[in-house]
Chain A
Amino acid sequence: QVQLQQWGAGLLKPSETLSLTCAVYHGSFNDYYWTWIRQSPGQALEWLGEINHHGRTNLNPSLRGRVMISVDTPKNQVSLQLTSVTDADTAIYYCARAKAFGYGVDVWGQGTTVIVSS
């Protein structure tokens, strides 16, 4: 059973860089896109971007160049960086596995709560 384990700093100050990593265990890494999605308190889901094992990315343009997603294929890990955070970036961040052909996100990490506060 594939499992996603994510970690990273949970408390940031404005203007700092959010950095999260997600490791994939017990499943194929190369056959999927790996996705980051966030959910602000009481709000809907927001798709941040995705990456495959070759490092090909699709990113959300609304984040205006602040977001970067990278991959370490030998380690079966993906990482998210979001620069110049503000309190609007306070959210639960999920790492997740995207099925082929846009057929949804079928495996999710446990989520990481990130709070931005001065």
Chain B
Amino acid sequence: DIQMTQSPSSLSASVGDRVTITCRASQSIDNNVNWYLQNPGKAPKLLIYGTSNLQSGVPSRFSGSGSGTHFSLTISSLQPEDFATYYCQQTYSSTPYTFGQGTKLEIE
């Protein structure tokens, strides 16, 4: 399986801050990375697909970058509704597709 290692596992920040979450793959996965946001008790929500493509309806303060084995999700100016848990996912190899362990973003 391709392992996806996210860092940090938790992060404290304030409204208006710029934050970056990273994901490292155990092997090269081209640009096949997606990012999700999950609020407690809710299903995840797709934010970014194919490394850097913004899903329809997602605010432009979210952006993604990277290639090969290193990827990142950046939120340019945190809003109150952004405090949640974030997951990366690789879809390079379907046996199986794998997620990172999550990054919990909390209010400082």
Contacts and interface: CB of A to CB of B under 8 A. Distances in A.
> Does A pair with B?
yes
Contact of B50 (A50, A62, A101, A108): A101
Contact of B95 (A46, A61, A110): A61
A14 to B, nearest CB: 24
A60 B99 CA distance: 13
B46 A44 contact: no
Given A99-B49, A104-B34, A47 B96 contact: yes
A58 B45 CA distance: 22
Contacts of A61: 95-96
Chain B interface residue number, banded: 20 to 34
Contact of A47 (B45, B46, B98, B102): B98
Contacts of A46: 99
A96 B97 CA distance: 14
Contacts, number: 68
Given A58-B95, A62-B1, A104-B55, A44 B100 contact: yes
A110 B43 contact: yes
Interface residues of A, number: 24
Interface string B15-51: 0000000000000000010101000000111101110
B56 to A, nearest CB: 8
Interface string B89-103: 101101111111110
Interface of B: 1, 32, 34, 36, 43-46, 48-50, 53, 55, 87, 89, 91-92, 94-102
Interface of A: 44-47, 49-50, 58-62, 94, 96, 99, 101-106, 108-111
- Among all A-B residue pairs, the 4 with the closest Cβ atoms: A102-B91, A104-B34, A108-B43, A104-B49
